[in-house]
Structure 1
Amino acid sequence: MLRLIFSDLVANARIWLGALLIAAATATVGAVVASDIQTAVAAGGNEALALYGISGTVAVFTLITALIVVGAVTDLTVTLQQRGYALWQLVGLRPGLVRLVVTAQLFVVSLLGGAVGCLLAVPLVQPLFRYAFSTSPELAGLTPTLTPAGAVPVVLFVAVVVTVGGFRGAGRAARTPPIQSLREVEPPDRRMTVARWLGGVATLLVVAAIVSTLPGTGLDTMAVPLMLISPLLAGVLAAFGPLFLARLVRAWTSLVPVTASAAWYLARNSTATNAARSTATISPLMVAVALAGGLYAANGAVGVPSGSLSTGSVVLLLGGPLLLAVLGAVATVFMSSRRRERELALITAAGGSSALVLTAAAAEAVIYVVTALLLGGSAVAVTTAIGAWAAGAWTAAGALPALTVTALALVLLLAATVLPTATALRQEVPRVLAPE
């Protein structure tokens, strides 16, 4: 079994590298938070109280982002290999053993990624701490540390999140009939599970509890709970995604007439049909938009001008979670690029031009990003409305940061979709389609 675990990891390196990257990124962000906590414990006094409050906020942002991003990536990791697991069963591997192998692979990748992420964080902790607290002499004078005692919980957290995030996919890989898996290149994943219902409802209740505490809260303390609303709402949307995501994609993309662009038509149908792949890319981007827009909307509601937020404080609060979210989206595109290349090779085989194939790839990236903007922007809009209700002042401060993150994500996703497609076009079509 050990030979199967590691040989399959090597054979599907492109897919597993995406999961490894996200595990490492999650650990790096978590290690920075752990370092802040360790520094607070060593410092004591008022400095410790300040660091506890800041690191707690960052930890909540990171936790929300990690649960959504890591869950999406690990589930996609299993989904993209569904056909291979079906072949395992056809050659005699029992379903229970398939599930055990997949779970073991997730655990191995998560441990390796967690360890790599913590090692990467070691040289980053001190310069990041100095930069983030450059305007606070009391905190800037502290010496941040990251010891093995702080790194071990981070590695274990990553291992649990990655393994649990892929547990449902591993179960699906084991119980899906092999014939069905071989017939469906990418099984649809649109059903609401008990875990999704519980997670979505629980998160919505947390949002309701936060909102109920806002009336009567002073403006000087209202910003922090307001900041949490937007990413939590993004979590609610991610949990209930199977109920509406495909319909939303079909609805807004239908605004472009079918006769206007063949490339748009192809991208539209591919995105709406391949629900698992689309969700894995859209959900992290949605969180990124909600985080950036929510932070500025919350501060704007309490009268803090956008320009008064220092770059260091923004990087400290959002840098790690935003990096994790954007990397998650790019990783999912990288992981599924071979599947996308085969789909576009079929278009070429049917007579489509290279320009059509490249435009369709670019249109798919646009659909991902705009859908994420619609969802993440709605979370920011709700945060703005709640802030206006609680603080008595409307603000549009969250709009520009949300659009900025969207523009950055679009550039990265265009590169992640178009460049591999351009490379694939240089190969002969039979060679691209042969592995399928």
Structure 2
Amino acid sequence: MLELILGDLAGNVRVWLGALLVAAATGAVGAVVGSGFQTAIAVGGDQALALYGLAGTILLLTVITALIVTGTVANLTVALQQRGYALWQLAGVAPGRVRAVVTTQLALVAVLGAAAGCVAASPALGPLWRLALSDVDVRFDAREAVPVIAVVVLVVTLGGARSAGRASRTPPIRSLREPELPDRSMSAGRWVTGLATLAITAAIVVSLPGRDPDRLTAPLTFVGPLTAGVLAAFGPLYLAPLLRGWTGVVPVTLSGAWFLARNSTAHHIARSTAAISPITVAIALAGGLYAADATVSGGDSPGAGSVALLLGGPLLLSLLGAAATVFMGSGRREREFALLLAAGGTPATVLAAAAAEAVIYVLTAALLGLVAVAVTALAGAAAVDTAPSFGLAAVAAVTGASLVLTLAATVLPTALALRRDVPRTLARDA
């Protein structure tokens, strides 16, 4: 079993590298939270109260973000290896053992990534906390790193539990073919998660009217990412039609590359969801914070230091998660690119189609993120009886950063794939 675990990890480095990167980012954000709690225990007094409040807020935002991002990454990790799991079963590996192997792999990658994230984040903890509390003496050591790593492992394995179960149920017939058919089904877990998140979001919104305006911003900040979580949970119900609908605005005769990208993103919905959901969360986080603060405070913007401390980690996790998922899937698309070239397409067309896919991912996420931001702004405006502010500058900034990262993660691997010999690629994957 150990050989199977390690051999599969080594043989699919590109796929597992995305999960490792997300685990490392989650561990780095966890180190920020852990250092806040450890420092609060050590210093006491008013500083401790401020640290507990800030660390608790970062923790809640990170948990919401991490569950969505790690879930999509784990789902894509398994989807990209379904043929391998089918071959395992043909070789005599029992379904229960397949599930155990996948779960162990997720846990191992989570441990390595979280530990690396804690180590990488340690030098930045002091400067980061001093953005909000200038005179704080930040503390973080191995005693606090251990629970951070444990929580990251729990979150990653929890996010991948459904995927591990699906891996064990992969039919051996998959070894004969490797399609990625659109998955429009809503599982019981998705229904429960989506409805529970919707109920929590509605409870927060209902509780806002009548509160002291000075205490509205904190709960209102959670409305955006929670709404993004609802949208992610119910994605199978609407995402494919949404992609086909708005991308159909561009006529087929105007751009062949756009036509290819439009059909690819709508058909490969599992891959598209994995790229879109993290960006949606990132936009909801940043836009929601600015919308909440500006709506309640009448136009004032939160300080840069507070924004960096509260949103820096969750935003990093979301954007890296989106880029990682795009990069993970690019290795399995070499045959697709080779087929396009064999059918008469040019390298320029293939590159343009890859860039168009990145644009579709980001703009779709921006549409969904704006829904989450609008819910935040309208809920805040109704609570204080004022005009809503939608944080459009923050939305535009995060959308632009997401587009740059997604283009890099999409176009660069495509350019490298185009350098391969077409007949050899088709013969190898046939």
Q: Which category describes the TM-score, using the shorter chain as reference length? A: over 0.9
Give 1:403 shift: 1.2
Comparing 51-60 and 366-375, the one that deviates more: 51-60
Q: Distance in 2 between matches of 1:181 and 1:272?
A: 24
Report deviation, 1:37. 1.0
1:373 pairs with 2:358: no
Label 1:113 to 1:232 Cα distance change in 2 as closer, same or farther (>3 A): same
Deviation at 1:176, TM superposition (A): 2.3
| 2:411 is aligned with 1:421 | no
Aligned ranges for residues 275-424 of structure 1 at < 5 Å? Answer: 275-303=269-297, 305-306=299-300, 308-424=301-417
Match status 1:221 vs 2:210: no
User: Contact 2:85/2:170 (CA < 8 Å) preserved in 1?
Assistant: no
**What do the CA deviations read for 1:121-147 (whole angstroms, capped 9, x no partner)?**
2112112122x22xxxxx322211112
Looking at structure 2, the residues matched to 55 and 119 of structure 1 have their Cα atoms a distance apart, in angstroms, of 19
Is 2:164 the counterpart of 1:170? yes
Percentage of identical aligned residues: 61
* Residue in structure 1 matching 2:423, options 412, 422, 430: 430
CA deviation digits over 1:7-29, x for unaligned, max 9? 11011001111100100110100
The whole-number CA distance in structure 1 between the counterparts of 2:164 and 2:428 is 23
1:286 offset after TM fit, Å? Answer: 0.2
Q: Is the 8 A contact 2:240 2:269 kept in 1?
A: yes
Instruction: Return the TM-score normalized by structure 1.
Output: 0.95
**Distance in structure 1 (CA, Å) of the matches to 2:190 and 2:86:** 26
> Partner letter of residue 320 of structure 1?
G
Equivalent residue, structure 1, for 2:76:
76
Amino acid in structure 2 at the alignment position of 1:339: R
2:183–2:269 CA contact under 8 A, matched in 1 = yes
Deviation at 1:100, TM superposition (A): 1.5
User: Is the contact between residue 67 and residue 161 of structure 1 (CA under 8 Å) also seen in structure 2?
Assistant: yes
In the aligned structure 1, how far is the partner of 2:383 from the partner of 2:137?
A: 39
- In structure 2, the residue matched to 1:231 is 225
- Residue identity matched to 2:343: A
Gaps spanning 5+ residues in structure 2: where? none
Aligned residues: 429
- Please point out which of 186, 190, 193 is paired with 1:199: 193
State the Cα RMSD in Å.
1.4
8 Å contact kept, 2:277–2:365: yes
Seen in structure 2, the aligned counterparts of structure 1 residues 435 and 165 have a Cα distance that, compared at 3 Å, is farther
Q: For structure 1, which runs of at least 5 residues remain unmatched after alignment?
A: 134-138
Q: Distance in 2 between matches of 1:364 and 1:433?
A: 23
Q: 1:57 corresponds to which letter in structure 2?
A: T
Measured in 2, the distance between the counterparts of 1:190 and 1:122 equals 42
* Correspondence for 1:90: 90
Aligned position for 1:136: none
Query: Contact 2:82/2:178 (CA < 8 Å) preserved in 1?
Result: no
Report Cα offsets for 1:203-243 as digits up to 9, x if no partner.
Answer: 11111111121111111111111111011000000111111
Report the Cα offset of residue 180 of structure 1.
Answer: 3.6
Shift of 1:189: 3.0
Task: Give distance in 1, aligned partners of 2:335 and 2:386.
Answer: 52
The amino acid that maps onto 1:59 is L
The change in CA–CA distance for 1:426 and 1:315 in structure 2 (over 3 A counts) is same
Contact 1:281 1:333 in 2 (8 A): yes
- Could you tell me which amino acid in structure 2 is paired with residue 129 of structure 1? W
Scaled by the length of structure 2, what TM-score is found?
Answer: 0.97
Amino acid at match of 1:340: R
Structure 2 Cα separation of the partners of residues 324 and 116 of structure 1: 14
- Find the aligned partners of 2:428 and 2:198 in 1 and give their Cα distance: 44
Amino acid at match of 2:158: V
Structure 1 residue ranges, 4+ long, deviating more than 3 angstroms after superposition: 431-435
User: What amino acid is the match of 2:362?
Assistant: V
1:108 equivalenced with 2:108 (yes/no):
yes
Shift of 1:181: 5.4
1:271 pairs with 2:237: no
Contact 2:286–2:394 (8 Å) recurs in 1: yes
